[in-house]
Chains A and B, each alone.
Chain A
Amino acid sequence: MANISIRNVSKSYGALNVLQPFSLEIENGEFVVLVGPSGCGKSTMLKILAGLEPASGGQIFIGEREVTDLAPGDRDIAMVFQNYALYPHLTVRQNIGFGLKMRGTDKTEIDRRVDDAARILEVTPYLDRKPKDLSGGQRQRVALGRAIVRQPQAFLMDEPLSNLDAKLRVHMRAEIGALHKRIGVTTVYVTHDQVEAMTMADRVVIMQGGLIQQIAAPDELFNNPANLFVAGFIGSPGMNFLNAELRDGQLTAFGQQISLPRATTHQGPVVVGLRPEHLTLGEGPVTFRVRPTLVESLGSEKYVYFEAEGARITDGEDGKSKGLIARVSHSGTLPRNEEIRLGFDPAQLYLFDFKTGERL
């Protein structure tokens, strides 16, 4: 186990910068998740850390040792790949023991450690099978076994759960968390799934366009997002955003003047953020009337979609925007197009700079 120090590591292909200078100190035994949309540079950073891609600049230390120019096999790290990358021509036992064999470990020692790893990951009955005879979850366990058997300084995981179905993913997420607690190896985990990031990480690094947006613990990210991108990325459903005008501590939004409880000297246009779960049905410190355009029922909860002046609506996953969202506790029926009242506490509003998107 070791701490990892990434100092100003960058990557560019010709004129194309895929990774802006990236610095991160990872504590010994820490579980750090790099998260962001496709193409944000998170996988590139992980490959540089593994030595599978050369960095264009910067330094990497694992423990006290500089590894920037070392081959992957000399860095004493283990990696779990998205597609598992199990050797199809070898049995599970040979797959798990491959790294030890490459390092010239004694045969009986390999057997002992493979058996230990197999027991921890509950793959002992499959040791003599080939990867093609295993299910997705079993393959993922074998890939983890190949990583833990070497007792490396650090684990690097590149979207290890994204090939699994939803139920298995939740299960394996918990298993990886438990495994990390059990063996306590420093782990860098890459995912595009904010739920994985929030549930597994000690600290989350949010990236976009090759640039770190924020590094913080999961709750801190949720409660204190540094900018519009982080605020919109973390949370499900995502934060509502409205363009509004701020004058002398008075905000004009939802057709009314709202007094902000926190003092701010900022004047002019701002972006207001409000989490869907901070909206309540009925009266609140601030109340406004809307006609829902769509109501989605999750049983005890409803997602109420509505429109409001100044709403900044980004297209959803299906390419269609459904409007602003309120996530309210309500088990009855809410008729569409019938006016309802929604309330919120202005203390729970987030304000962002209109031009830079930085939190005010």
Chain B
Amino acid sequence: MRRTFAQSLALYATVIFTLLMILFPVYWLVVTALSTTNELYRLPPTFWPADPQWDIFARVWAAKPILMWLWNSMLAAVGSVALSMLVSVSAGYALSRYSMRGGATMGLFVLTAKMLPATLLVIPLFSIFSSFGLIGSLWTLVLAHSTMIIPFATWMLKGYFDTIPKELEQAAMVDGCSPIGAMVRVVLPIATPGLAATALYAFVLSWADYAYARTFLVNSPDNWTANLGITTMQGEYVTYWNDISAASVFIALPIIAIYLFLERYLVGGLTAGAEK
């Protein structure tokens, strides 16, 4: 069916508007980074700096341990993804495939952890971590982020496993696989889009955290994550927003790179052809 001119206009207008909504903050971040301090406070604002300060990125990179912050964020995020995926894949698969007494209730109970705000959990987590002598270590973030990720990731994965026909595992078991073998050899490869989406969700959640890092790591500058590091660039009397924006661009880049890398796995429809 061909679209009419009015329909096309409405469609493109919607797409462009949505894109603007999403991309404007990114654009404004770059503009802020490239502007001089005086330009930032000018009214009306300038939408592209008269003299873009391209050297700001090099200056900020040299002045602040951005690489170390990024590395710490990466360690915390990769650790959180690894731990939470290990737990969520097993739990989601069990909830999807095995009926057990109270299984549904247990599944819902897992979600209650997600309903509590992170700030509420900070205090008990702090006391647990300090009794184990973990305060100041990146392990606090891996564990704390996993408590946020696992409930939701478990349900995401359960939903994905539900879409995979049980007959595939049954066929694999008749073909000689153990139940775990059927999961590893047949279900997980088919669930790649679901696993990728969940891993991405977990990564972003961990990468974006500030509250836990601020609470558990504030006295250990060597373990500061990127988000925590950036906030220390805010001065008591003067704040250089262009420096902070330049650092923020560095922090956004890995997430963009990971999205681009995982995008090909996020495509569904891999199970097409398993059934009629």
Residues of A within 8 A of B (CB): 47, 50-52, 71-73, 77-79, 81-89, 98-99, 102-103, 130-134, 136, 139, 146, 150, 163
Contact = CB atoms under 8 A, between A and B. Distances in A.
A84 B174 contact: no
B165 A99 contact: no
B83 interface: no
A88 B170 contact: no
B271 interface: yes
Given A85-B167, A88-B190, A89-B190, A130 B174 contact: no
B270 A77 contact: no
Contact of A52 (B165, B170, B181, B272): B170
B178 A71 contact: yes
Nearest to A73: B176
Given A52-B170, A79-B170, A89-B270, A84 B177 contact: no
Interface of B: 165, 167-168, 170-178, 181, 186, 189-190, 270-276
B170 to A, nearest CB: 5
Contact of B273 (A77, A99, A103, A139): A139
A97 B173 CA distance: 14
Contacts of B270: 88-89
A84 B165 CA distance: 10
B276 A102 contact: no
Which of A81, A84, A88, A146 neighbours the largest number of chain B CB atoms within 10 Å of its CB? A88
A88 B271 contact: yes
A139 B175 contact: no
B102 to A, nearest CB: 16
A292 to B, nearest CB: 40
A150 B271 CA distance: 25
Contact of B274 (A71, A73, A83, A99): A83
B186 A136 contact: no
B274 A52 contact: no
B174 A98 contact: no
B169 to A, nearest CB: 9
A88 B174 contact: no
5 contacts: A83-B165, A87-B171, A102-B177, A139-B276, A146-B171
Contacts of B174: 50-52, 72-73, 77-79, 99
A73 B172 CA distance: 8
B190 A103 contact: no
Nearest to B274: A88
A133 B274 CA distance: 11
Given A98-B175, A132-B272, 6 more contacts: A52-B174, A85-B171, A89-B186, A130-B273, A136-B276, A139-B276
B173 A89 contact: no
A89 B273 CA distance: 9
Contacts of A150: 175
A98 B270 CA distance: 19
B23 to A, nearest CB: 35
Given A83-B276, A84-B274, A72 B190 contact: no
B173 A86 contact: no
A89 B186 CA distance: 8
B173 A72 contact: yes
Nearest to B186: A87
B174 to A, nearest CB: 5
Nearest to B179: A71
A104 to B, nearest CB: 9
Contact of A81 (B171, B178, B273): B171
Given A83-B275, A87-B186, A131-B274, A73 B175 contact: yes
A130 B274 CA distance: 10
A73 B181 CA distance: 11
Contacts of B167: 81-83, 85
Listed from nearest, the 4 A-B pairs whose CB atoms lie closest are A132-B273, A102-B176, A131-B273, A73-B176
A234 B23 CA distance: 68
A150 B189 CA distance: 24
Contacts of B178: 71, 73
A333 B168 CA distance: 53
A150 B175 CA distance: 9
Contact of A133 (B172, B176, B181, B273): B273
Which of A73, A86, A89 neighbours the largest number of chain B CB atoms within 10 Å of its CB? A89
Given A71-B178, A88-B190, A103-B176, A79 B171 contact: yes
B1 to A, nearest CB: 26
A98 B174 CA distance: 11
A166 to B, nearest CB: 14
Given A52-B170, A89-B190, A84 B176 contact: no
Nearest to A97: B175
A320 to B, nearest CB: 30
A85 B274 CA distance: 5
A136 B175 CA distance: 22
Contacts of B276: 83-84, 136, 139, 163
Which of B167, B176, B270, B274 neighbours the largest number of chain A CB atoms within 10 Å of its CB? B176
Contacts of A89: 186, 189-190, 270
Contacts of A79: 170-171, 174
Contacts of B190: 87-89
A85 B165 contact: yes
Contacts of B173: 51-52, 71-73
Contacts of A102: 172, 175-177, 181
A156 to B, nearest CB: 8
Contact of A99 (B175, B186, B189, B271): B175
Contacts of A139: 273, 276
A130 B176 CA distance: 22
Contacts of A86: 273-274
Nearest to A75: B174
